Structure 1
Amino acid sequence: MDSLVPAFIAVLLTQSGDRSPWLVALLADRFGKPLLVALAAGLAHAAGNAVAATGGLLIAPMLTPNARQLLLALALGFAAMGALWRLKPPDRLEGWKLGAFLTPLFGVFILAAGDTTQFFTLAFAAQGPAPALAAAGATMAVLVVNTAAAVMGEAAWRKLPVRAYRIGFGLVCLVAALILALGALRLI
């Protein structure tokens, strides 16, 4: 349970201002099947989170507690940089003719490859004895956000104050990253 809840919260906050729910919202509108699109996107994220959790499992024995804390600080720092950077609209995948399930499955998998969600999953998986819980928490959070985006649709999703949210979230992540990094380096 040590990594389930923190991974859920971190990914929920990260995904709420990310491009993948935007892609899910527009694909849900395009195909008219919001729950199927959300499910496919959730499976795409689950696959990426499983890879990240496996990476966390493999590197965890090589890391000291301070290195694990520094890894989490790096994940927060990258989340801050990503949130403070301008959000570009996702590719609409209009040329993809794979249908309502495969288009979001592959499209979201490609869009999310190596993103902050997976970095958080890796960092939380390296923290504790049960890396699968980090992947489960991250995947549950993604399902919540993607389902909301799919049900809302693109027009409603774009009306949300995403820019202000991303700035606030980015600043909080930046402060948290600095505090964790200074603690891991024993400077505070």
Structure 2
Amino acid sequence: MDALLLSLILCALVEGVGNTARRYAGLVARSGYDGTGAVTVGMVAACAANALIAALVGLWIAPMLTPEARALFLAAGLMMAGGGLLFVSRRFDSMEGGATVRAPLLIVLVTLFVTGISGSAPLLIATIAVYFADPWMAGIGGALGSAAGCYAGRVAKEAVWIRAGRFGMGALLMLGAFSMAMGALRLI
């Protein structure tokens, strides 16, 4: 249950201020469907596919590591996710004003799958799955959190608080990673 809650909360916060939510908002703007129906189903399916792949990676890696190595692995994942949020590109193609999307489910699924697999949420899901040795709960929580974060990020649009949230989340993740790494290395 710990893996489910931690991955749900972290993925919701990270995806809410990340690139996948911005890409989803751009696809909604181009689809003409206002985010309902096929566009939202495509987003949820892409988040679930990314979470499944991350959970399988966690399932594969978890038996190979000692408990200290698992904590250090989670710290490295938190550090990379935080760095990804701190150093996100300012310029982003919002995809507004382009041609209308003809097959929204397939286009949204493929676009958000590719955008999301390189994001912070699958990395967090995989590292949480390794740390708790519970990949299925980490995957379920990550899928739910990623979908909720994408939807919340689309509703919020690109506001000033999104940028502040991105910086705050990145700094918080890096601080948590530092303290976890110090604990894993038994320096504190």
Q: Same fold (TM over 0.5)?
A: yes
**Paired residues, number:** 184
Deviations 1:106-125 (A, max 9, x none): 00111112321111110111
Match of 1:54 in 2: 56
Tell me the CA shift for residue 127 of structure 1.
Answer: 2.3
Percentage of matched positions with identical amino acids: 30
Rounded to whole Å, the distance in 2 between the matches of 1:116 and 1:147 is 16
Rounded to whole Å, the distance in 2 between the matches of 1:149 and 1:171 is 19
Match of 1:73 in 2: 75
With 34-43 and 174-183 compared, the bigger mean Cα shift is at 34-43
Q: CA 1:95 to 1:177, structure 2 compared with 1: closer, same or farther past 3 Å?
A: same
Match of 2:167 in 1: 167
With 25-34 and 67-76 compared, the bigger mean Cα shift is at 25-34
Q: Is the 8 A contact 2:62 2:133 kept in 1?
A: no
Match of 1:92 in 2: 95
Which residues of 2 match residues 144-155 of structure 1 at below 5 A? 144-150=148-154, 152=155
Rounded to whole Å, the distance in 2 between the matches of 1:101 and 1:61 is 37
Rounded to whole Å, the distance in 1 between the matches of 2:150 and 2:77 is 21
TM-score calculated relative to the size of structure 2: 0.89
- Counterpart check, 1:27 vs 2:27: yes
Equivalent AA in structure 1 for residue 107 of structure 2: T
- Counterpart check, 1:181 vs 2:181: yes
Q: Is the 8 A contact 1:41 1:104 kept in 2?
A: yes
Tell me the CA shift for residue 128 of structure 1.
Answer: 2.7
Give the SS at the match of 1:186.
coil
Equivalent AA in structure 1 for residue 175 of structure 2: V
Deviations 1:49-83 (A, max 9, x none): 11111111111111111111111101110111111
Q: Is the 8 A contact 1:49 1:121 kept in 2?
A: yes
Structure 1 runs (4+) deviating above 4 angstroms are 93-98
Match of 2:66 in 1: 64
Rounded to whole Å, the distance in 1 between the matches of 2:85 and 2:177 is 13
Match of 1:38 in 2: 40
Q: CA 1:141 to 1:160, structure 2 compared with 1: closer, same or farther past 3 Å?
A: farther
Q: Is the 8 A contact 1:96 1:103 kept in 2?
A: no
Unaligned runs of 5+ in 2: none
Match of 1:138 in 2: 142
Equivalent AA in structure 1 for residue 11 of structure 2: V
Q: CA 1:160 to 1:91, structure 2 compared with 1: closer, same or farther past 3 Å?
A: closer
Equivalent AA in structure 2 for residue 67 of structure 1: A
TM-score calculated relative to the size of structure 1: 0.89
Q: CA 1:90 to 1:79, structure 2 compared with 1: closer, same or farther past 3 Å?
A: farther
Q: CA 1:39 to 1:149, structure 2 compared with 1: closer, same or farther past 3 Å?
A: farther
Rounded to whole Å, the distance in 1 between the matches of 2:160 and 2:144 is 22
Q: Is the 8 A contact 1:19 1:90 kept in 2?
A: no
Rounded to whole Å, the distance in 2 between the matches of 1:86 and 1:127 is 26
Match of 1:108 in 2: 112
Tell me the CA shift for residue 92 of structure 1.
Answer: 2.9
Give the SS at the match of 1:179.
helix
Give the SS at the match of 1:55.
helix
Tell me the CA shift for residue 148 of structure 1.
Answer: 3.1
